[in-house]
Amino acid sequence: MKRLLVLGAVILTTAALAWAGSENKPKASGAPKPVIQKAVKGEQCVEDTDYMRRNHMVVLDVHRDKAVIEGIRTPKHSLKECINCHASEKTGSVAAAKDDFCISCHSYASVKIDCFDCHSTKPKASMAMHALNAETAHYKHKLAAQATSKVDVEEMARVAQ
């Protein structure tokens, strides 16, 4: 009895594997290839594509320590700057929809990232951030209106920031 069961299990497993690997052409329902949207701004990335593909994690890793611990905030490898260019035109984000820049590759490669547990996925000056920015802008306008001393042009220009 036991032997029959074992034999049956072996046959079923082999059959299942054979069926799974039998396709000559990959089916449409295989893992979706990442949709790498073209960045909306700029001519090219700060590094070339091959380098970025292999090393963007190292780049971000090194830069984040410099930024947080030392306060060195050069824009070249800054995550914020990546988002500014690579945010999707449709969602205004790099991680909102399945085909947004970061998520599309990362879900394909099945590598979980936790950047966006903390980081905003949207560029600061974008429509998608409008609500948050508007809140800040309105508040700062209110403060400026209350100000007892003259508010200079630069100060007002910074209101949107």
Partner 1 sequence: MSELKSMTDNTPSSPQLESQQRRRFVSAATATAAGLAVAPGVMLYQVAHGRAEDQAASSAVRWGMLVDATKCASGCNDCVTACSTENGWTPVAESKQPKQAPQWIRKLELQDPLTQMETNLPMMCQHCAEPPCVDVCPTGASFKRADGIVLVNRHTCIGCRYCMMACPYKARSLVHEHLNDTQKADVPRGIGCVESCTLCVQKVDRGDGNTACAEACTAAGHNALLFGDMNDPESEISKRLRELPTKQVRADLNLNLGVRYHGI
Contact residues for partner 1, defined by CB under 8 A: 41, 64-66, 68-75, 78, 80-81, 83-84, 93, 95-96, 114, 116-125, 129, 132, 135-136, 139, 143-144, 146-148, 154, 158, 161
Look up tokens 């995550």; give the residue: 79
Query: Which residues in the chain belong to E strands, given as ranges?
Result: none
> For residues 104 and 123, which CB has a smaller minimum distance to partner 1 in the complex?
123
CB of 137 to partner 1, least distance (A): 10
Q: Is 50 buried (19+), middle (13-18) or exposed (0-12) by CB count in 10 A? A: exposed
Hey, how many other C-beta atoms are within 10 angstroms of the C-beta on 107? 16
CB of 43 to partner 1, least distance (A): 13
* Cβ proximity of 139 and 157 under 8 Å: no
Type of residue found at 133: N
> For residues 56 and 66, which CB has a smaller minimum distance to partner 1 in the complex?
66
> For residues 33 and 80, which CB has a smaller minimum distance to partner 1 in the complex?
80
CB of 156 to partner 1, least distance (A): 13
CB of 119 to partner 1, least distance (A): 5
| CA pair distance 97, 131, nearest whole angstrom | 19
